[in-house]
Structure formats: structure tokens, C-alpha cells
Amino acid sequence: MLSFESDYIIGAHEKVLEALCKTNNEILSGYGNDAHTQNAKKLIKKACNSPESEVFFLTGGTQANAVVISTMLKSFEGVISAKTGHIALHEVGAIEYTGHKVIELDPDIGKLKAKTVRNYLEAFYGDENNAMMVVPKMIYISHPTEYGTLYSKEELTALRDICDEYGMKLFLDGARLGYGLMSRETDLTLPDIAQLCHVFYIGGTKIGALCGEAVVFAKGEMPERFLSQTKQHGAMLAKGRLTGVQFEALFTDDLYFEISKNAIDRAEELKNLFASRGYEFFLDSPTNQQFIILTNEQMAKISEKCRFGFWERLDENRCVVRFATSFATTKADVEALSQII
Amino acid sequence: MLSFESDYIIGAHEKVLEALCKTNNEILSGYGNDAHTQNAKKLIKKACNSPESEVFFLTGGTQANAVVISTMLKSFEGVISAKTGHIALHEVGAIEYTGHKVIELDPDIGKLKAKTVRNYLEAFYGDENNAMMVVPKMIYISHPTEYGTLYSKEELTALRDICDEYGMKLFLDGARLGYGLMSRETDLTLPDIAQLCHVFYIGGTKIGALCGEAVVFAKGEMPERFLSQTKQHGAMLAKGRLTGVQFEALFTDDLYFEISKNAIDRAEELKNLFASRGYEFFLDSPTNQQFIILTNEQMAKISEKCRFGFWERLDENRCVVRFATSFATTKADVEALSQII
Amino acid sequence: MLSFESDYIIGAHEKVLEALCKTNNEILSGYGNDAHTQNAKKLIKKACNSPESEVFFLTGGTQANAVVISTMLKSFEGVISAKTGHIALHEVGAIEYTGHKVIELDPDIGKLKAKTVRNYLEAFYGDENNAMMVVPKMIYISHPTEYGTLYSKEELTALRDICDEYGMKLFLDGARLGYGLMSRETDLTLPDIAQLCHVFYIGGTKIGALCGEAVVFAKGEMPERFLSQTKQHGAMLAKGRLTGVQFEALFTDDLYFEISKNAIDRAEELKNLFASRGYEFFLDSPTNQQFIILTNEQMAKISEKCRFGFWERLDENRCVVRFATSFATTKADVEALSQII
Amino acid sequence: MLSFESDYIIGAHEKVLEALCKTNNEILSGYGNDAHTQNAKKLIKKACNSPESEVFFLTGGTQANAVVISTMLKSFEGVISAKTGHIALHEVGAIEYTGHKVIELDPDIGKLKAKTVRNYLEAFYGDENNAMMVVPKMIYISHPTEYGTLYSKEELTALRDICDEYGMKLFLDGARLGYGLMSRETDLTLPDIAQLCHVFYIGGTKIGALCGEAVVFAKGEMPERFLSQTKQHGAMLAKGRLTGVQFEALFTDDLYFEISKNAIDRAEELKNLFASRGYEFFLDSPTNQQFIILTNEQMAKISEKCRFGFWERLDENRCVVRFATSFATTKADVEALSQII
């Protein structure tokens, strides 16, 4: 059945799979001490224009969030997130499980605004009781956000400025980073992000890999004995080649950007299609996730021939649903959808 | 200097201190296995009209909150609290430190309304993604709240009904419980609270003791090996007599209620005093904490002769401050204040 | 270079890789809700002769150990392990990181003897102070052990009997389970293990997969909301197909057993080779890990042409080293070794 | 009934109690911001001859151990302890509950020998696999130990030297420190201990106070935001005066040392008494805890008229029991005992 359910419904991009097959019989050391993993790190640092950063591979987004946050914060420090942020809402409290408070602030269509953060920090540092409070030490954002929206360079810079002013770290969850970078409406490049964030990750699971997120620490930001700490979190693969080989393929010949662009091109077509048919959008997303308002009748009818994600009920008659394109979506898929809606 | 800074500025009530002195040379077993602790438990169960409940003594409020919540919840379960709740704001993330998410909902002058909780739960159980979310398993309230406000019997019953409906536990933080029970505006008795809550505690630190909170578990609600678990939290006193003897004194001849009433009587006088002088109240509190709005000039002037608590800045010219009475406040104290304001 | 360094130096078995390729373009739901994962579970339950067990896939051994132990134990409960057990020694304290004590007992060549465990439990339950002690609630063993040794059916039954007697759970870490099952000296079958353990896992990473361990809970032993809990640990793959497809291939046509047998056959050849050349064995291992004592000169010489694992220094002149065969070791590899040693 | 059950069977020393009574009605700020607490800190620093150290008051030993260890170690660091150490055995895994491994080494009558620790560290740092292991970062000892034994100045210096060599911290649990300092067989003074340890505590609960341990951090060793962290652990008293006033009394006019000496004098009398009657000692203790071997008949007979602590069963006929003297034991108590044994 046709499906726009999510961006992780297909296995790996064919070139990624080819790389796994081609290297399969090579004898390689474990735990990331292999040539492909080393090369993948080199390629990523180059793409980030950040030779002094440090790159590590983890298997998924929640794992990356929990490992990064818990290894960068002390026990009395917390992380600021939009109330709708992935760590705040959809990770079964994985951050709290490591002992840290997620300080939830009100977002603007998924985004954390500098003004909101600044207000919180001014109140915190102006409060004589703050010895009784968790110290806000990190800002967590996702880019694109859970609603497909994007930070502008100015907005990201404003968050970084706050971090510098208050001694905080800026952490960008890039589970869908490629789709943000190739959006037609972004002014942020990968080197910009590498320069503005203390730590971020480049999502592979949703963009061409079977699994894997590449965590990038800016110079000097990598936690002590980080590899040991990933082991302690159960996050280290014995066959580190699995993520190394995949990211090596993704960052060879700009594959990551090319296949991310495919998702954006298909999303634009899908957006135009829904618009041309008079459907209402829940919000304006410049990336691969499109949030559409459907009546109950439309939902029932489309569901018969096409899968999509349920988001929330708006009222008795209408729901918000999500159509996601990905590295693997084809023009034919969008055309098939045009026959259905 | 005259002080209404808080309700823990004086040592113990004289009868509590006398009891400590009187029993000091008795040879008693440790860890709560002594006759005074046992008697204190009996007296409290009687005051609660709840012979089958279980009573344990801890030393302070944050400790009680962390021990109760972490021992009653499984790792994937969270506790709902008002955003202004003590556990949400002023315990340095002690609950998250034990691995549990505090799910913060918007309060109504410090109180968690049944409607707010119900909306949250309906959304949670209506969301197909809730396998990715922390399971709300407990409702935490404080009574009186951080703003001195009180739940009515109807409101508390409504929260309990929600708990029954959704398989949750109701936990009442009674750090200032006596001041709530003796308020002129409450319709809740101690037996009511014991019947409506799965677990609650009776605060001693702020009402006549040097330290100590009496945690009361309703029948069948005490966590397995609870004493061992308090030890694991570093919350067990070798000389358990310290809390046992104090609570024995507090619950002999209704001392706890009598001294709580003193705080309420003094608070009413103080309230009338401020009102009669035309001061503005930040909110209407029926208990021992009164929140007054002062201009910068008033603050400066009163500060010279009397201590009070700073709450928050309202605007450039005005602040909210707190005047707290306690078991130890005298009529003379209020009269002295009348010379100052 | 020829390598017997470990059993995770090659990618996946070719049939496992083929399965990943063949299913790559199928549109599948995430988080394990796909047909291949479901089928893999069915095949594993069948191989275990345990239709009522529950199977879940995790990515690695340390992750499996931490998730299983922390979700099955309460906070005041600990797990008994041999002092040389993987969780005791080589997981950077991953179990303690989740809050649980690993109670270390002296092993017999890597194995935990029933007598040792019983002595500990009798002392624990005979001690009046045990309210101050962690409650031993689980026995952790690995099979094969870190030293390649195996439990007999009688020994495993004795541990299970202790569990039944003391209300404990038996957990078997089977990171190398296939190599144990196909050993020429074992009397334990997979159904035996499924029947005797409350929970165990079937290792994939070291036996034919790129990653993945299949956790098998006996009837009724699966922790509440287990999937959510794996998410909380950062242990859930968005593309659950990655482990599902691999285990489906491994448990089709007995592939898992067949390739495990290959490792054993090669290990026997290697063992005979070393014995015939007069090398001394550190211990007698009936599985794929062989521990040989080498002089410094031998080490230096062999290292030039062949990789192996360093274990420990015995004295100034001699070291213990490990030669591991795997699903991928060939007769040609052993022959090549015969030219070197 | 006559009791030598433990050193916490009596309330506070009379001068400590007097101080609590005398200061009871003083208006004092909370959380340790009061003049008595500040003075107590000053007095302790002076007694330690360590003006640049930092002193904090906690309520009990397990709490002090958990707070100190968890705030001084990073998540991947562990603490070395004798297998018989209090944190290893009798605190319900309170250290592991905070996420840290207790690395248990074999003791010599309760004491951790430098040689044992050095062997462990050499093996750890000589192991190529140590990235998979918890990093030993602290040495925990108790002085006196759980068996009443004492470290000599040479032994303590040897442990400190190891710490300096390997970048570790030396932590001395002084729950019974006074009894160690006043032993007739010690060559260690309080200033020695303050100089040799990175952190230690001076026990109050077992020596004259109702509760309280004074944690002393050497210059520069206090963890960041330590007060907030004690709050996060539920270890901060609102009425900090409770511990401040008690320690102020204990360190005025050498009361702490004088009453500790009383316990030692009585212990020597008790020791002589048992020896003169031909009883066998389990070990030779120079402090207030004496471990005697009793036959079943002796146990039964003495139990009728005197309480003592049960330690362990030696064989069918004999047990080890503990007689503890304290600050409150009188010459009359020992004389009464002489009528019984």
C-alpha cells in the first residue's frame, strides 16, 4: 500500500546497502576502531568544515539525546526544551531516567524562541531561591522541529548568544537534519550549524541508513571518556562498522544531501498537490513533514488506499494528519497520491 | 529583629523540646524500633481515624517527596504536579534525580484542578503515540499549596475520583498540613485526608518540631521493604527516637492542632492589620502564609525593622512578599508589626 | 592479516545480508511492528519450544543486560554474578548506572556454582541485619562464560532450583549462545534453556548478525510496558526491521545452529593444532574461545602474522591470549595458522 | 535493662541537649544560614587545623556516604571499598542507587591495605580492556572500621600516596571518628586526618548528638553547588540549626574528645573484664566496639540481663557478638556487667 506514514518505512538507500555488502567480509576491529568508521568521521568533519570537532556514531535519536545530555550535564543541571520537544514528550522520560530535569518552555510552532529562553533565565538568576532550583545548563532544540519548522541563522545565533552569555551549551537534535539543510527556505548550512552548536547530531536512521546518528562535538566539548560512557549506556556497537560504513557511504559524493533533497522535492510536489485540491494545512512546513487537516470523511476515504500518520484530533469533524516524504519517496508515489485524494 | 520570614525560624515547641529532654537518657533501640516511635505511630493513626494505615517518619519535606514518589512509581511512570508545585520548582530536581518525570500542569493559584488533570489524561489515553510517553501514575498536590491556598473536600474528592478512574495514586504533601487543617475556611479534616489520599504526610518541621515529617500510607499502599528503601535513600535515622519522640509529643493532647491554630489566629490578625492599612494582597490566602504587594519604598522601610520573604518582582515599582506566621508567633509579634507598617 | 581476535571481526553471514538486501525496499512500519520481526519472534519461540514466551530484539549485549536487569528488579534488589561476569567487569558499571548492585561471588573457571550461591543466600537470610542489605533477586550467568566454559543441565537446574526456593529470577546472557549449544560437550538444548531460565538472550552480534540480541522472557516474566521501557533506555530501533530481518534469516532452516557449528568445528581443529604443537592451555574450553599460554617470544612471533586477543599476563615470561573462531572462520584460516605457530 | 547493644541507644550528651534548649527560641534563618552553624564550622576547622577546608552538616552516615561519593564522582567512576565496608554491605546499595559501582577488595580485619589497592590499580591500568571498566577514582575507608580497627598514620599516608599517584580521592567515613581519635593505640590526630584525606566526616550520631555528621572537604575539594546537591538528595534540613547547634556544643571546650575518651576508657575496662574472665576475643579492637566469642549457653545467660549485638555464627556452639560502649556508658554499667558474665 502507498505510504507516507513516516520517513523510516524503507530500509537503507541502495548505495548505503551496497557499501555494507561490499565491506562485509573485511576483517575489522570492533567498537569503531576500523578504517571505515575513521573515514566516515573524517568525511563528516570535512562536510562540517570543522576539522577539530569530534564525531561519534550512535544507533538512534533517543539514545543520542540521552547519552549526549547525561554526559554533558552535572547531576544538578537541567536542559531547556520546547514543551513539544522530542525529549519532553516522546521519549518515555529517557532524560529524566538519567536524573536530569527537562525544563519545558512554551514553543512557537515547535521552535524555542530566544526571547522565551531569556525570560526564563532572567527570572532564574533574579530569584534568591534559585539554590533550590535545577541549574539550566543546556538548550535543546530539534532542527527541523517535530512540526517540520526550521530555525533561521539569526534565530540559531540568538540561542547561541544566550548560551555564551549564561554559560550554557547549545544542543541540536538533527534526526532529520538533511531535510532541514536541503529545505528551499533555510539559510543555514551544515558548517553554520557546526559552528553555532556545542554539540549536534546528523540523523541517519531517517535519511538513508538502517540505523545511526552521527554526534558531532565542537572542539573541546566532548565529555571525558566518552566511549566508555556510551558503553555504560549500552549504546556502543561491538560491530562499530555497521554505523561507520553507512555514514561513510552517506558522506561520499554528497549522497546525504542529494537524497535529502529528493525528500524536499517530493514534499514540495505533495504540498502543491494538497493545496491545489483545496486542503487546509495545519501549519506551514518547509521540510519533509506536511501537516494537513482532514475531515473524518476524507480520512476514511484516503486511509483505504494510502497510509499516513495521525497527529491529533482538532474537533469532532476534523483531524490533523502528517504526510512524510523521505529519501526513498518517488515522483510516482506522489502521482499515485494524486489519484487518491 | 522581628521576623515573619518563614515558619521555620524558631526551634521546637517547648513541649516537644521537653519530651526530647525527658526521654533523653532512656535506652532505646535504633531505627525506629523504640516505644516512643511506636506510640507516635499509634497516636497518628488514631488522629487520622485510620487504624490500618502505616506511618513512617522522615526528616524533611524534599526527602519525603523523593522517597514516597520514587518508591511508589515504576521507572516509566511519572507524577503530575502543578507547575508551581514544590517538587516541580524548588527541590533541585530531586524527583528527576530518582529517574521520574514531573509532568507539570497549569495551576489555579497553586492548586491543581480536576478538570486540568482530566484533560491531560484524556489526551494521553487518546494518543496512539502514548507508548512513547511517560505513564502518569500519581497526582502530587500540596495542601496548603505554596501560595497558602486550600483544596475543598469536593476538590480533593474529585482528584481522588480521577485517580480511581485511571489507576493512579493521590499524594498530598502536608509540609504545612496543620495550618491547612486549622484554617477557618477549610471543610477538610485529618480523617478526610487520610481517607481520600493513598499517601500523605503531616509536616513537623514547620509546625513545632526540630525536624520530621510523618508519612501516612493508606492500607495496602506502603511500598515493599519500605524501611530498607528509606535506608537506601539515606533517609533513615539511627536514632529514630528523634522523630518518634517529637511526633509523640505533637500528637498528645492535640498539641499539633492547638499550635497550628495559633498560627492561623495570628495570620488572621496580620491579614486584618495589612488590610486595615490599605495594603494590597497578591492573592487571598486562608492559611499562615500571606502574600502582600509592597512598593519599593514600603519594602525598604519595613525591611529595616522586620524580616519577611521576598517572592517575586511584579513591576519596576512593586514586589510580592510573604509574611508567614507559625506555631511560635505571638500576639506581641503582630502588634510590633503594626508599629512598623 | 589472519585474525582470531574475536568473533565480531566480520560483518554478517551472507544469508543474513541477503535477507537485508531482499527486504530493503519493502514498506514496513517502525518499532518492530513489521511482518519480519513478527515472524522472527515466531521462529524463535518455535526453536525454543516455548510458544508462550515473549521475544524482543535489542542491539547489543550490554544493552540487553542493562535493560533486562533494570526492568526486572526493584530498586532495592540486586543481581548475583560471578566476579568475572561480563556485567561485573566489562560493562563500565552499566548495571550500577541503573541503580542496582551487582553482588559478586567467586566463580569456578567463569561459572557460578550453586553451592556458592546457596551459601551466600543462607548467610543473607540468616543475618538479622539484612534489612540494611540489597535483596538478592536475580542470578546472572553467561553461557558460554567469559572463559568459554559451559553449564551442564544439572548445574543449570541447580541454579533454577535455588531461584525457585528463594523467589529469584534466573537470567542467562547468551551473547555466544549458539557456540554453547553446538559444543560437542554440552547436554543443554535451546528448549532446555528456555525452560530453565526466567529470561535469556540469543546472541546475534557474535553469531552471524551485524547487530542484535533476541531476548526471550518465559511466560509471565516480561516486565510491564516493556517496549516503552526499552525506548526509555534508548534501546528501541525506529527501523525494527534491522534486527527482525536478521533474526528471521538466522532462524530459518537452522542457519543459526549450522553457523554456530562451524565455529565449534574450527575451534576443535585449532585446539588440536595447538595441542599437537605442545602449547599449554590456560583452561579447557569446549566452545569457540580458546585460551592459550604463550611465551613472550611466541607472542612476538605469532603477532607478526596473526591477530589474537590479549587476556592477561601470567608472569614475566608468559601471557594468556585468546584465539576465537566464529561463524565465519574457515578451514583455510586454521591451516594458515598452522604455518605460523 | 543494661545495654551494650550499640553506640546509639541514648539520646544526646547533656551539654548538647542544653545547647538545643538554650538556643531554641532564637530566631534563626534556615538551611544552615545561622550563626550557630557558622560557628560550628569555624570550631571544626580550627580543631582540624585546616582553616581553608569547607564543612557541611548532614544527618546520618549513609546519607553522608551517598552524598559525598555521588557528588565527587562522575558517572563512569567508582569507589574502592573493603568488601566488609559499610557502603559495600550495610547501606542497601545506596551508592549503587546513585549510579556508582563499589569496587570491593579483600580487607585485612576491616582495613583496606595499600598493597591490595595498588595491585588492583596496576591490573586496571595494565589492562587493554579498561575502557570497558569503571574507573576507580576514590578510596573509601572507615576509621574506626566496622570491626573497630584503626589505620596507623603510616597506613593512611600510604593510601593517600596511592591517591596522589593515580589521581584519586581519599574519603574517610568517621561515623565513629572520636572513638578512633581517643583510642590509646592510635598515632593519628584530627589534623593528620584533615591533612591526609580529601574528604572525611566527623560522626555526631554515635558520639553525643541526636543526629548529624560533619563533612569536611579539604581545600578545593568541595563539589560545585554542594548545598543545592544536598537538597537534591533530600539531605538538607530546613532547620539547619539542629545540626549546627549540636556540633557547636560538641566542639566547644573539647567536649567531643572528652566524651569519646569516656567510651574508650569504659571499653578498656570492659575488655579487661572479659579477658579476666577468660572469654575469647574474635579480634583485637582498640576502640569502643569489642567482639567477643560466646558459647550458646553464655549467650542465653547473658541475654537475660544485658543487651548486646549479634554479629555472626562461628559454628554450632559459638557466636560472635559485639559489646559497644559510648559517650554515655558509665563505670556503673561495666560493674553491672561484671555481675552478669
pLDDT in tens, B244-284: 999 999 999 999 999 999 999 999 999 999 999 999 999 99
What CATH fold (topology level) applies to the domain A23-250?
Aspartate Aminotransferase; domain 2 (3.40.640)
- Under an 8 A CB cutoff, do B131 and C232 touch? no
Q: What mean pLDDT value characterizes chain B?
A: 97
Provide the pLDDT confidence category of residue C302 given band limits of 50, 70 and 90: very high
What is the H or E stretch that residue D81 is in? strand D77-82
Residues from chain B that touch D27, judged by Cβ atoms under 8 A, are: 1, 3, 9-10
Provide the pLDDT confidence category of residue B129 given band limits of 50, 70 and 90: confident
- Under an 8 A CB cutoff, do D131 and A71 touch? no
Q: Is D90 left (phi over 0), alpha (psi -120 to 50) or beta?
A: alpha
Q: What mean pLDDT value characterizes chain A?
A: 97
The pLDDT tens digits of the residues spanning D118-140 come to 999 999 998 877 899 999 999 99
> Average of pLDDT values for A116-135?
93
- Under an 8 A CB cutoff, do D127 and C312 touch? yes
How far, rounded to the nearest angstrom, does the alpha carbon of residue C282 sit from its chain's CA centroid? Answer: 21
pTM above 0.90, yes or no: yes
> What pLDDT, on a 0 to 100 scale, did the predictor assign at position C204?
98
Residues from chain B that touch A99, judged by Cβ atoms under 8 A, are: 93, 96-99
Does C325 have pLDDT greater than 90? Answer: yes
Does A258 have pLDDT greater than 90? Answer: yes
Exposure string of B139-156, with b = 16+ CB inside 10 Å and e = fewer, is: bbbbbbbbbbbbbeeebb
Does C128 have pLDDT greater than 80? Answer: no
Provide the pLDDT confidence category of residue B28 given band limits of 50, 70 and 90: very high
How far, rounded to the nearest angstrom, does the alpha carbon of residue B99 sit from its chain's CA centroid? Answer: 23
The answer, for B5 touching chain A at a CB cutoff of 8 Å, is no
Q: Which amino acid is at D158?
A: A
Q: Which chains touch B (3 or more CB pairs under 8 A)?
A: A, C, D
Does D22 have pLDDT greater than 90? Answer: yes
- Distance CA(C101)–CA(C79), nearest Å, equals 7
> What pLDDT, on a 0 to 100 scale, did the predictor assign at position B83?
97
> What pLDDT, on a 0 to 100 scale, did the predictor assign at position A293?
98
Q: Which residue of B has its CA nearest to C67?
A: B75
- Distance CA(D159)–CA(D297), nearest Å, equals 43
The answer, for B313 touching chain C at a CB cutoff of 8 Å, is no
The answer, for B74 touching chain C at a CB cutoff of 8 Å, is yes
> What pLDDT, on a 0 to 100 scale, did the predictor assign at position D128?
76
- Distance CA(C81)–CA(D132), nearest Å, equals 17
Helices (H), chain B: 14-22, 35-47, 61-72, 86-89, 94-97, 114-126, 153-166, 177-181, 190-196, 226-232, 241-250, 255-276, 296-303, 331-338
- Distance CA(C69)–CA(C61), nearest Å, equals 12
Q: Which chains touch D (3 or more CB pairs under 8 A)?
A: A, B, C
The pLDDT tens digits of the residues spanning C75-122 come to 999 999 999 999 999 999 999 999 999 999 999 999 999 999 999 999
Beta partners for residue A77, in sequence order: A135
CATH class, range A2-7+255-340: alpha beta
> Average of pLDDT values for B10-21?
98
- CA geometry: angle at A8 spanning A3 and A14, to 5°? 100
> What pLDDT, on a 0 to 100 scale, did the predictor assign at position D268?
98
Helix (H), strand (E) counts: chain A: 14, 13
- Distance CA(A164)–CA(B260), nearest Å, equals 49
* Residue ranges with strand state E in chain A: 2-3, 54-58, 77-82, 102-105, 135-142, 169-173, 199-203, 213-217, 280-281, 289-295, 306-307, 309-313, 318-324
- Show which of residues 229-258 on chain D sit within 8 Å of chain A, judged by CB atoms: 229, 231-232
- Distance CA(C242)–CA(C240), nearest Å, equals 5
Q: Which amino acid is at B186?
A: T
> What pLDDT, on a 0 to 100 scale, did the predictor assign at position C52?
98
**Same fold yes or no, C2-7+255-340 and C23-250:** no
Other Cβ atoms less than 10 A from the Cβ of D186: the count is 20
Of B267, B253, B58, B6, the residue nearest B173 (C-alpha): B58
> Average of pLDDT values for A293-297?
97
- Show which of residues 83-142 on chain A sit within 8 Å of chain B, judged by CB atoms: 89-93, 96-102, 104, 126-129, 131-134
> What pLDDT, on a 0 to 100 scale, did the predictor assign at position B68?
98
ipTM over 0.95: yes
> What pLDDT, on a 0 to 100 scale, did the predictor assign at position A148?
97
> What pLDDT, on a 0 to 100 scale, did the predictor assign at position B254?
98
Q: Of B75, B229, B231, which has the smallest distance from its Cβ to C229's Cβ?
A: B75
The pLDDT tens digits of the residues spanning B143-157 come to 999 999 999 999 999
Does C127 have pLDDT greater than 90? Answer: no
Does C39 have pLDDT greater than 80? Answer: yes
Can you give the C-alpha Rg of chain B in angstroms? 20
Domain locations along chain B: 2-7+255-340, 23-250
Collapsed DSSP state (helix, strand, coil) of residue A310 = strand
The pLDDT tens digits of the residues spanning B209-234 come to 999 999 999 999 999 999 999 999 99
Does C126 have pLDDT greater than 90? Answer: no
Q: Of A132, A135, A229, which has the smallest distance from its Cβ to D75's Cβ?
A: A229
- Distance CA(C246)–CA(C20), nearest Å, equals 7
Say how many CB pairs under 8 Å bridge B and C.
36
- Say if strands C309-313 and C318-324 run parallel, antiparallel, or are unpaired: antiparallel
Q: What is the nearest CA distance from B123 to chain D, expressed in angstroms?
A: 31
What is the H or E stretch that residue B56 is in? strand B54-58
Q: What is the DSSP letter of D166?
A: H
* Residue ranges with strand state E in chain C: 2-3, 54-58, 77-82, 102-105, 135-142, 169-173, 199-203, 213-217, 280-281, 289-295, 306-307, 309-313, 318-324
- Distance CA(B197)–CA(D141), nearest Å, equals 44
Torsion of Cα atoms, C251 then C255 then C256 then C257, to 10° = 120
List C-alpha distances in Å: D236 to B68, C125, D143, D187, D242.
Answer: 17, 34, 25, 34, 11
Peptide bond preceding C286: is omega within 30 degrees of 0, i.e. cis?
no
Residues from chain A that touch B92, judged by Cβ atoms under 8 A, are: 76, 131-134
Q: What is the DSSP letter of D214?
A: E
